[in-house]
């Protein structure tokens, strides 16, 4: 493997990254690889940093090379903003996730909240009501389509009610499994 060779990497979670391999020191054992892609019409690059332990498969095309290769200073200039940006996004995502955990509700209600928070800005109100900031609507226990309150956006309300219906149809078997595991763990 050498700098500048075209590479395709598939990670263990199924994501595919295409670009050109950029390695600072081939003799140095590293735990990550850097793939760059020139941004068309600019002298800038899109950068992906991938942990080697997360790679499921890769393919190298030795016929195609990146010319000219970015130098080490360019590498630093490329990676630092990318890493900082990705870390900020990751931290924000985890803060959002942690702020959505409500210890006052059962597992199935928390799963429902998590499902909605993937698509909408949600928060807990009054301890157990799921509140949608975007259209000022709440879902109260027992978290069924008829439990939706407020909100003037009829289409949004219908969408939330549809998601509720689908969630309960889809999640019922897995929730029973979680309850069984919880009851077994309680017995131990």
3-state secondary structure of 25: coil
pLDDT, tens digit, 9 for 90 and up, residues 44-69: 777 788 888 888 998 988 888 777 76
pLDDT, tens digit, 9 for 90 and up, residues 100-157: 889 889 888 999 998 898 889 899 998 899 999 988 999 999 999 999 999 889 999 9
Residue 24 reports pLDDT greater than 50:
no
Q: What is the pTM of this model?
A: 0.47
Q: With cut-offs at 50, 70 and 90, classify the pLDDT of residue 74.
A: low
- Angstrom distance (rounded) from CA 50 to CA 57: 12
pLDDT at res. 162: 93
Which one, of 30, 20, 75, lies nearest residue 9 by Cα?
20
Burial of 130 (0-12, 13-18, 19+ CB in 10 A): buried
Longest dimension (CA), the chain: 65
């Amino acid at each position: 493997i050498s700098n500048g060779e075209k590479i395709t990497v598939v990670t263990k979670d199924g994501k595919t990254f295409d670009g050109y391999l950029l390695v600072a020191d081939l003799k140095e054992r590293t735990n990550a690889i850097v793939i760059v892609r020139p941004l068309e019409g600019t002298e800038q690059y899109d950068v992906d940093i991938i942990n080697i332990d997360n790679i499921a498969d890769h393919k190298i095309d030795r016929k195609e090379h990146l010319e000219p290769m970015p130098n080490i200073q360019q590498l630093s200039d490329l990676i630092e903003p990318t890493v900082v940006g990705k870390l900020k996004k990751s931290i924000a995502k985890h803060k959002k996730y942690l702020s959505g955990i409500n210890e006052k509700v059962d597992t199935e209600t928390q799963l429902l909240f998590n499902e909605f928070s993937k698509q909408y800005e949600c928060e807990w109100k009054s301890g157990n009501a799921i509140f949608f900031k975007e259209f000022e609507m709440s879902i109260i226990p027992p978290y069924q389509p008829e439990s939706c309150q407020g909100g003037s956006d009829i289409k949004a309300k219908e969408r939330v009610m549809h998601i509720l219906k689908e969630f309960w149809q889809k999640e019922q078997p897995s929730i029973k499994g979680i309850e069984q595991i919880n009851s077994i763990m309680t017995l131990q």
